[in-house]
Amino acid sequence: MALRGKLLVGQSGGPTAVINASLAGVIEEAGRHGEIKGIYGAVNGVVGLLQEEMVDLRAESEGQIALLPNTPSAALGSCRKKLSEADYARLLAIFQAHNIRYFLYLGGNDSADTSHRIGLLAQAAAWEMRVMGVPKTVDNDLAFTDHCPGYGSVARFSALAARDAGLDSFAMRTVDTVKIIETMGRNAGWITASTALAREEPGDSPHLICLPERAFDADRLLAGITRQVDRGHGCVVAVCEGLRDAEGKALVEFKHAVGMDSFGHRQLGGVGDYLVALIAERLGIKARFDKAGTIQRVFGLAQSEVDVAEAKLVAAAAVRSACEGVTDHMVTLERVSQCPYRCEVGLAPLEKVAHAERPLPDEFINEEGNDITPAFLDYARPLIGGPLPRYARLELRRVTKLLEAS
């Protein structure tokens, strides 16, 4: 028997280049189901929902909905908030007052936990409501899914940034010998690893990659930099903001309380600056660092068409599953073919998703711990939506010298 009522969708956590494609997927698919009597959007996720701030998404024009898939960031607004027991009770009252029977939350681990708890609360109150998680995270660290919508686009951005930074470093190698590229990533090095997709020929940057899955070893890094610099082409190193020492402590983190969210996650950053100082002190070499910051996760020009399509795919699947009676699950992506690349959707319990994290697996990291393996390239390359633009490669044939060096 169909469950009749309204559908509510919210966006949570860090925005991505394709989370609005998932929003469009929810709106479009929900419109195909007669049992869904209204499509509401939560303004700023559960933060706005607690204030009963919702919008009628059916009131939006078709033209604006059509633009959503290629619009980066979170059009409804997002949040990071850990709910209290009183908050959950407030949400239940709002669901009941507005006859919300379908709740879809677009987010990562913390959002999965919030969604799971909302589902349990509704069940305990005998309020029939289907709760579904729609995966979203540039960190690509959700378990039970091959990859996460948002990752393909940030990986494309990272590859483009690493390649262009490499060209800049090669041009300026007589002045700025070493370039550090700092990427996002709290506990997992998926984004940092994707900089390797910049390489087209041997010797292309990045020349070294430092991941949080391996303890940071200053001596090993400096030795690797020295070897690369001695080749005369400069050195580009991609590093993750979440680098940790041998004791598992973050190498650098924002110390003040205002840098911590309600889930206890401290703001990270500053690894690039730290390494520049270390290189200058230990090697006497000038180094610079590039850090894109949050722009890397929402850069619209780096959108991957594969990422956009899959963001819509998982959202539509969440709506269909909810209408079929499924609840308390997140939609997953399952890779069923590599050549040609193809994914299908699956389901994973929200409770399991919320309490699991997927680091970069060992088979994707080289033995020395300072680079990735071909297996990672095979995994990630289909996700970025086609090859990077072609650049010129001058042969730079030297003219015969006619004068003695002065």
CB 79 within 8 A of CB 112: no
One of 110, 139, 141, 328 is an active-site residue; which one? 139
Nearest to 193 by CA among 145, 254, 138: 138
3-state SS class at 5: strand
CB atoms within 10 A of CB 379: 20
Calpha distance 285→258 (Å, rounded): 35
Rg (CA), the chain: 23
Burial code (b: 16+ CB inside 10 Å, e: under 16) for 50-68 equals beeebeebeeeeeeebeeb
Query: Is 87 annotated in the active site?
Result: no
DSSP H or E run through 125: none
Residues ≥6 apart with Cβ < 8 Å to 86:
none
CB 136 within 8 A of CB 107: yes
Q: Exposed/middle/buried for 243, CB within 10 Å: 0-12, 13-18, 19+?
A: buried
**What one-letter code names the amino acid at 302?**
A
CB 56 within 8 A of CB 44: no
Query: Is the bond preceding 340 in cis, omega lying within 30 degrees of 0?
Result: yes
Residues β-bridged to residue 135: 107
CB 78 within 8 A of CB 14: yes
The catalytic residues are 139
